[in-house]
Amino acid sequence: MKRLGVNIDHVATIRNARGGLHPSPLNLAKKAIKFGADSITIHLREDRRHIKDVDLKNLSKTKIPLNLEIACNYKMMKIALKNNPKFVCLVPEKRKELTTEGGLNVVKYYKKIKYIVNKLNNKKIRTSLFINPKIKDIIYSKRINANCVEIHTGKISNLIKNKKNYSKELKIIKKCAVFADSLDIEVHAGHGMDYKTTKILSKIKEIKEFNIGHFIIAEAISIGLKNVIKKINKFIKK
């Protein structure tokens, strides 16, 4: 069955706006799992703009399936190894970006990524690479020994939201998902997704996991976290 991962970064964003302890990312993570999420994603950015080290520490102490997104460098690798989350997703990171822009350059940074992935794999941490929907990137992900790839869905999400033709991009994602699956790489999808994007992409049977953050947290303000997760799961878990 397909899975839903809920990214709670922007719960921390709201908390940090006032400098207090509320809302608690840990408490919301527990509620998300209770309401039907399969895992929780947090992105510990190098500038700590939302999720803090204490959030990672607190979540690591629970039995919540935790997917830790980190920049692909040795400092963040050491933090991951110390906290030992169930999953790690390596992502590109730029200080000035509002959100993750594009996938990892797995060709240019092949040796570095392979080293980090091997270190994580040796500790039995499931590894994922956040990549653009390109066949070449999937080939390199296999050589790197990544367990999974998460396909960047930002482009198709924007096309759908702006009511533009997305058929070409959908075919590209489908082709990449089928190819990755044929190499025994588990396929995930993430970035910019909402109800409509999730409904469309959920029809690709090779995509096993959807990681959604900003939309879920924003929509939860209006209709509640339980209702958002329930609506999304209707598309994912048919």
Q: pLDDT digit string (tens) for 22-77?
A: 999 999 999 999 999 999 999 999 889 899 999 999 999 999 999 999 999 999 99
Domain that residue 139 falls in: 3-236
pLDDT(79) > 90:
yes
CATH number at residue 21: 3.20.20.70
**Tokens 């989350």 label which residue?**
85
Position 149 pLDDT exceeds 70: yes
pLDDT of 152 reads 97
Residue 96: predicted pLDDT:
55
Number of domains in the chain: 1
> Which is more confidently placed, 99 or 91?
91
Q: What are phi and psi of 85, to 5 degrees?
A: -70, 165
The answer to whether the beta carbons of residues 127 and 119 sit under 8 Å apart is no
**Residue in 43, 50, 152, 188 annotated catalytic:** 43
Q: Cα-flanking dihedrals φ and ψ of residue 67, to 5°?
A: -110, 110
159 pLDDT above the threshold of 80 = yes
Q: Is 188 a catalytic residue?
A: no
Kindly tell me if the per-residue pLDDT of 110 is higher than 60.
Answer: yes
Residue 75: which of 97, 93, 60, 61 has the closest Cα?
93
pTM of the model: 0.94
Tokens matching residue 210: 């959807």
Distance CA 45, CA 61 (A): 20
Residue 186 buriedness (CB in 10 A; 0-12 / 13-18 / 19+): middle
> Using one digit for the tens of pLDDT, what is the confidence trace for 127-144?
999 999 999 999 999 999
- Closest-CA residue to 87 (of 171, 160, 24, 3): 3
Of 150, 152, 191, 219, which is the active-site residue? Answer: 191
Angstrom CA distances, 192 to 71, 90, 156, 213, 215, stand at 19, 18, 9, 8, 7
Give which of 129, 201, 188 is closest to 160, Cα–Cα.
201
Most distant CA atoms of the chain, gap in Å:
48
Active site residue 43: yes
For the question of residue 50 being annotated catalytic, the response is no
DSSP 44-97: --TT-SSS-HHHHHHHHTSSS-EEEEEESSHHHHHHHHHH--SEEEEE---TT-
The predicted model gives 165-173 an average pLDDT of: 98
Catalytic hit among 69, 93, 209, 219: 69
Pairing mode, strands 39-43 and 148-152: unpaired
